[in-house]
Structure 1
Amino acid sequence: TSDVIVGFPGETEEEFMETYRFIQEIGYSELHVFPYSKRTGTPAARMTDQVDDETKNERVHRLITLSDQQAKEYASQFENEVLEVIPEELYDENESNTLYVGYTDNYLKVKFEATPDMVGKIVRVKLTKAGYPYNEGQFVRVMDEEEASITI
C-alpha cells in the first residue's frame, strides 16, 4: 500500500498524470489518498499557486477509483487459494448472522462464515470471490496451536 497526497501547490495536470501512471505501473494493492490541506504558518501555505478544491477532489476520486481497481486485481491473484485469516469481528453487528471479517497475512479483508470462538485465532479460509473492500471466503478449518506457532 501507499499514501498519496494530491493537489500540493503547483501540481499540474501533467504532474498528476505522471503520478497516476506510476501508480498504475507499480500496481499497489491499496492506496490511501488525501487532498493537500493548507496549514497556516507553513511555507506551502504561502505559495501562490494553490490548486483549487474542485481539482484536488477530482484527482482524489480518480486515484481512489484506480485504487479500487488495483485492489480487486491484487485480490484476484488469490482466488481459490486457502489463506490464513484472523477473524476480528462480525461483518454486520446489526444483523444476527454468522459472517465475520478478518485479514489475511497479505492484508486482504475477507468476510466468511465463522463462530464467536474463532475470533483472534488463526483459521484457514478459501478465498472464493475477490472484491473490494471485502473479499468473500469459505471457512476451511481452525489451525491447531502447533501450526499457528510455526506460522507466527
Structure 2
Amino acid sequence: MRPLIDENNLSYSKEFLIYYTRSAIFGRIFLVVGALAGFIYFYMQNQLIVVAFSFFLFIFQIPLLIKSIKGIDEIQFRINSKGIQYRNNSLIPWSNIENERAVWIDNENRNDDTTYFIYHIIEPSQIMKFNLAGFSTDVSELSIALTIHRNRFKRENDIL
C-alpha cells in the first residue's frame, strides 16, 4: 500500500498514480460464482427460465472479468510536476490545465454521494470529469496531490 502524500513535504513523491480498485474485480468474481451456482441449482430444480438467465449472466460476465483482471495494473491517471495524463493519452501540461479539483457532490434525491475528479483543458476547451468511485484514491488524497504537483510545476518554471 502506498503512503499518503504529506502536504508539507514537497520533495516526497515525484508522481501520483491512480489505478482501478480491486473491489470491482472481487464483486465481479462473486457475480460469476453466484451465477454459476444459480445455474447449477436451478438446473437441478428444472426452472429453465432462471437457468437461461443464470447461464447468460455467467457467459457475459466472464469476458468482463478477464478484462478487469488484465487491467488491474494499468495506470488510469498519472499526475506529476509536468501535468496530468489519463490512461495512454498524451500528457496534458499544467500550463494547459486550469481549475483542477476533486469534489464531493451530495445527491439530494438519492442516498449516495459521488466524488469527481474535474479539470479543464484550456486549448481544446474541454472539461474532463471522472467519477472516483472505482479508483484507488479519495477526494482528500487527490486534492493534496493536485496541490503539490501544481506547486512543483510553478516552482520549476518560476511561476509565482
TM-score for the superposition, normalised by structure 1: 0.27
For the pair shown, which has the larger CA radius of gyration, 1 or 2? 2
Higher RCO by CA contacts (8 Å cutoff, separation 6 or greater)? 2
TM-score for the superposition, normalised by structure 2: 0.26
